[in-house]
Amino acid sequence: MNFGSAGHCLLLEPENFANLYVCAPKGTRKRGKDGKKRWEEFCKLNPGKNVLTANEWNQLQNIRKVFQLNPKIRQLWKHGETEVSMFWQDAEFALECKARMDWFDADSRRIVDLKFTNNIGKVSAQKLIDQHFAVQACWYRRGVYQLTKKLPDFIFVFLEKYAPHNIRVINVTEDIFRHGEQTIKNALINSELKPDG
């Protein structure tokens, strides 16, 4: 989680990265009695900051280089805004709803969501369904539609944590959206059947 959050910050909000994250000295580890002690001491010297290991820090810097050079990425991130929050009253579900998009281009009506993965070879459309990414895509699209009356496209960008830091761009299909929609409706129906609501 810490790595993913740091990656999102570095790639999408680089101006905030130095204020929120710091690199531990090389060789500093959280394991072992001495390692834990040195780690805790370093954390105390950097209050309010998330501490990354030297390996994590270097991984992220390398990922940033690959990310910035990739032509598909440059095109996706050419226009739009980062970390866009939405709040809406869902007309169908009669619920107060919210979502926070990694990237949204209002002109092209495109939502882009960034994910980190250990193995890019295992990323597929089926993975979007199995890991509930379909629910996320459907929910975000639902929010944009209810606020603008226009259906946006949704794109997942998967970045491999380990070198050579391959990238896979997946456009969410209507089948995946339908799966997400059904999962959301089933969850709401099941929650209404519980005594506690």
Is-cis flag, bond preceding 152, omega within 30? no
Helix 174-193 / helix 133-148 crossing angle, nearest 10 deg: 90
Cα 182 to Cα 175: distance, rounded to the nearest angstrom: 11
* DSSP at 22: E
* DSSP at 151: P
- Contact (CB, 8 A) for 145 and 151: yes
pLDDT tens profile 138-191: 999 999 999 999 999 999 999 999 999 999 999 999 999 999 999 998 888 877
The distance between the two most distant Cα atoms of the chain, rounded to a whole number of Å, is 58
- Kindly write down the DSSP assignment for every residue of 66-104, as one continuous string: HHHH-HHHHHHTSSSEEEEEEEEEETTTTEEEEEEEEEE
The pLDDT of 122-130, averaged and rounded, is 75
Model confidence at 91, pLDDT cuts 50, 70, 90, reads confident
Specify the 3-state DSSP secondary structure of 116. strand
Cα 38 to Cα 117: distance, rounded to the nearest angstrom: 29
Cα 137 to Cα 141: distance, rounded to the nearest angstrom: 6
Q: Which of 5, 116, 102 is nearest to 51 (CA)?
A: 5
Show the domains of the chain with their CATH numbers: 2-69 (no CATH), 71-193 (3.90.320.10)
The pLDDT of 92-118, averaged and rounded, is 93
pLDDT tens profile 35-60: 888 989 999 999 999 999 999 999 99
* DSSP at 42: H
Compute the mean pLDDT over every residue in the chain, rounded to the nearest whole number: 90
Cα 104 to Cα 106: distance, rounded to the nearest angstrom: 6
Specify the 3-state DSSP secondary structure of 160. strand
